[in-house]
A and B are shown apart, each in its own frame.
Chain A
Amino acid sequence: MAVLRPAGDFDRSYAQDMLLLRQPWQRWAMALIVLGVALIPLSGNAYLITTVNRIMYSIVAVQGLNVLTGMTGQISLGQAAFMLVGGYIVALTAQHWGMPIFVTLPLAAVGTGVVGLIFGLPSLRVKGFYLAMATLAAQFIIPWLSRHIYPEYLGGSSGRIAVPSPVIFGVTFNQVAQVFYISLTVLVITTILLVNIRRTKLGRSFIAVRDNDLAAEVLGVNPFGVKLRAFFVAAMLAGLAGGLKAISQRSVGTELAYGLNESILLLGMLVIGGLGHNLGPFLGVATIIFLEDLANLTGATMASLFPAHATNLLTSFRPLFFGLVLMLFLIFEPRGLAHRWEILKATWRMRPFSR
């Protein structure tokens, strides 16, 4: 990717050529941002801590979708179901075998990845809408299974089990303010991995398959293998996100927002943030969660204005606002907020010659 650089910024070694943050001020800024986020739990503001924690694990899930949908061009309507799988794996391995979190989270990632492979199999023969339907099937079948098989382990028809709090070096992480740091660590690791995956052979073959899978095959890329790898990575990140969500909520089950609407929400976050852009998941998730708070506020205000319809108004504005914003973005800015950010950067670079 040809990146426009200011005059005088050139590389003297290969190591320098591969740097992600090439200017000292960029490194300082990144360090300050991570430090700033890491200081949030010290503020003691429960709402802020919970929200930022939710934003962080949602970003991990959306990053997975970004690999599958943004980079490889395969649509998945089942990301929330894969999160459920990850949550269950974390819960069961910690509860029944007492595994530490260093084991449970990677296990959740790999286990969910394997489940993702199973539902990625139809991508051998179908794509586009048909593949969306296959993942829709996953979205219905996985929660059903969790409610109906092995009720003694998976919680039966209510489908809800407790997740033991992880213990790291003798410290029990049972507060959201503590789980916050686990989410932050995972998010930093996944972000570094995903920024780099784009620069590998695998990442380039993802993009080749997205742009035209027949042409990619002619170029020597095995589209089916690449699609399966994308499904694996996407499900892996969903599993991690699900594990973090389960630890944060201290229980996991089908009734705790792992349904089709949650999957659509994750897809919407990706589109609003910017498909295929590293920044997309961050911007999209933050925007949508802010929008949800706005919707809840609107709902509460409307409910106090029209107490007769309070029950109808309290929760209804979330899907309404989300659907509206998603449609507006698709019609007016299908490349999402990340694209706006790029335009803004270009404008700043070109000043004073930009409009």
Chain B
Amino acid sequence: MNWPLVPQQVMTGILNGGTIALIALGIVLIFKASEVYNFAHGHLVMLGAFLTWWFAGAEERGGELFNLPLWAATLAAVAMAMLLGLAIERFILRPMTGQPVLAIILVTLGLAQFIEGGASILFGAQPKSNFPTPFSPSDVIRIPFPGAFNDTIILKQSLVASFLVAAVASALFILFFQYTKTGLAMRATAENHDVAQGVGIRVSRIFALSWAIAGVIATVGGVLLATVTGVSLNMATVVLIAFPAVLLGGLESFAGAIVGGLIVGLSQALVQASRNIEVRNSAEIVPYILLLIILIVRPEGLFGQKRIERI
């Protein structure tokens, strides 16, 4: 361990973890509402980022259809993502109701491939570095911290901003589930489809709604990620680390997804404080190593429920 680097990496890790947590929330939402393991969530994140980039003026060659400021582009992309979520639920997941887990996982994998191909046709396979971010890489906040490298912690403004947005979005999300009538209906549906139907909740509408909301938070997560790293098709694979985060926290738990996201962010940042180059390089697989450990030691995750299976 290179101790002077640790405070810096802890802060960076937590800030990165915020975005991962937001993306993980989307996966948990879909799972809780409809017991679908959405392997296409990473691709929804990628598509959301690409749509925002496109609404914001794309390549800036002059021939583009839209040239909106970032906030308006994000709103437009969010609207598109909502429609897409509704369409996915209606045309892909609803015909699959009652199919085994394997088929559900495969259909989301197929959807992921489809989105990847579509995005590559529409937007091109090259990474885009011109995502309209309000910050430049040199916009940093310096916090004096004795003992750290150069006695300061340097935080990129883009990271801080995306963490704040992710925190606000997660808070709104959880408040929505705790206090609004629709949120309560969604929780009831997650608990038991038949009983929820019995008390007058329209379960099919709840499924559709949860996909729409998942599309929205995927897009927000994509925009936050893109302001830090730029847009590329590769984002979808990078975002798969939200799955270890979800499993660390436990599949059924929103709080768990947030904690899991922060743990994944922290672990990725902390290995980079090592003096050993191979340990530093392992940042991309550390979440998966954590995943294997948690699957063997405590498969239900930190906050998940143990399941009792009946024949």
A331 & B95 in contact (Cβ 8 Å cutoff): yes
Residue of A121, A129, A141, A334 with highest tally of chain B CB at under 10 A: A129
B289 & A137 in contact (Cβ 8 Å cutoff): yes
CB-CB < 8 A to A134: which residues of B? 291-292, 295
- B129 → chain A closest CB, angstroms: 17
Chain B residue, CB-CB nearest to A314? B125
| B284 touches A (CB below 8 Å) | yes
Q: How far is the CA of A313 from the CA of B125 in the complex (A)?
A: 9
Partner of B107, one of A215, A315, A327: A327
CB-CB < 8 A to B240: which residues of A? 136, 260
CB-CB < 8 A to A315: which residues of B? 120, 125
Chain B residue, CB-CB nearest to A334? B103
A267 & B243 in contact (Cβ 8 Å cutoff): no
Chain B interface: which size bin?
Answer: 35 or more
CB-CB < 8 A to B282: which residues of A? 144, 148
| A312 touches B (CB below 8 Å) | yes
User: Which of B6-14, B110-118, B157-165, B209-217 has 4 or more CB atoms under 8 Å from chain A?
Assistant: B110-118
A148 & B110 in contact (Cβ 8 Å cutoff): no
CB-CB < 8 A to A261: which residues of B? 113
In the complex, chain A residues 69-120 whose Cβ is within 8 Å of any chain B Cβ: 69, 73, 75
Known contacts A215-B311, A264-B109, A326-B106; is-contact A128 B121 (Cβ 8 Å): no
Partner of B106, one of A212, A267, A309, A312: A267
Number of interface residues of A (CB under 8 A): 50
- B63 → chain A closest CB, angstroms: 10
CB-CB < 8 A to A318: which residues of B? 117
B295 & A327 in contact (Cβ 8 Å cutoff): no
B247 & A144 in contact (Cβ 8 Å cutoff): no
In the complex, chain B residues 224-254 whose Cβ is within 8 Å of any chain A Cβ: 237, 240, 243-244, 247, 251
- A135 → chain B closest CB, angstroms: 10
| A51 touches B (CB below 8 Å) | no
Known contacts A132-B105, A133-B295; is-contact A312 B125 (Cβ 8 Å): yes
- B107 → chain A closest CB, angstroms: 5
Chain B residue, CB-CB nearest to A213? B309
- A342 → chain B closest CB, angstroms: 19
A136 & B105 in contact (Cβ 8 Å cutoff): no
A125 & B120 in contact (Cβ 8 Å cutoff): no
In the complex, chain B residues 80-132 whose Cβ is within 8 Å of any chain A Cβ: 92, 95-96, 99, 101-103, 105-107, 109-118, 120-126
A129 & B114 in contact (Cβ 8 Å cutoff): no
B107 & A319 in contact (Cβ 8 Å cutoff): no
The main secondary structure of chain B at its interface with chain A is helix
| B299 touches A (CB below 8 Å) | yes
In the complex, chain A residues 232-266 whose Cβ is within 8 Å of any chain B Cβ: 260-261, 264
Partner of B113, one of A69, A144, A264: A264
CB-CB < 8 A to B237: which residues of A? 260
CB-CB < 8 A to A346: which residues of B? none
- B213 → chain A closest CB, angstroms: 21
B117 & A319 in contact (Cβ 8 Å cutoff): yes
| A324 touches B (CB below 8 Å) | yes
Chain B residue, CB-CB nearest to A127? B101
B114 & A320 in contact (Cβ 8 Å cutoff): yes
| A206 touches B (CB below 8 Å) | no
Known contacts A128-B101, A133-B243, A323-B115; is-contact A331 B107 (Cβ 8 Å): yes
CB-CB < 8 A to B112: which residues of A? 264, 323
In the complex, chain A residues 215-233 whose Cβ is within 8 Å of any chain B Cβ: 215
A316 & B120 in contact (Cβ 8 Å cutoff): yes
| A153 touches B (CB below 8 Å) | no
Q: How far is the CA of A318 from the CA of B107 in the complex (A)?
A: 17
| A317 touches B (CB below 8 Å) | yes
| B50 touches A (CB below 8 Å) | no
B124 & A311 in contact (Cβ 8 Å cutoff): yes
Residue of B37, B240, B295 with highest tally of chain A CB at under 10 A: B295
Known contacts A129-B105, A271-B106, A334-B99; is-contact A327 B285 (Cβ 8 Å): no
A130 & B247 in contact (Cβ 8 Å cutoff): yes
Q: Interface digits, B292-311 against A, CB 8 Å rule (1 contact, 0 not)?
A: 10011001000000000101
In the complex, chain A residues 315-342 whose Cβ is within 8 Å of any chain B Cβ: 315-324, 326-327, 330-331, 334
Q: A267-B109, A312-B125, A315-B125 are known; give 14 further A-B pairs, CB within 8 A.
A: A124-B296, A133-B291, A141-B285, A144-B284, A148-B282, A264-B112, A264-B113, A268-B109, A311-B126, A322-B117, A323-B111, A326-B113, A331-B92, A334-B103
Give 30 CB contacts A-B under 8 Å.
A75-B102, A126-B295, A128-B102, A129-B101, A132-B37, A133-B247, A137-B244, A140-B285, A141-B288, A149-B278, A215-B311, A260-B240, A264-B112, A309-B121, A311-B125, A312-B121, A312-B124, A315-B120, A316-B120, A319-B116, A319-B120, A322-B117, A323-B111, A324-B114, A326-B109, A330-B96, A330-B106, A330-B110, A331-B92, A334-B99
Please name the 5 residue pairs, one residue from A and one from B, whose CB atoms are nearest each other, closest first. A320-B117, A323-B114, A323-B113, A326-B110, A319-B117
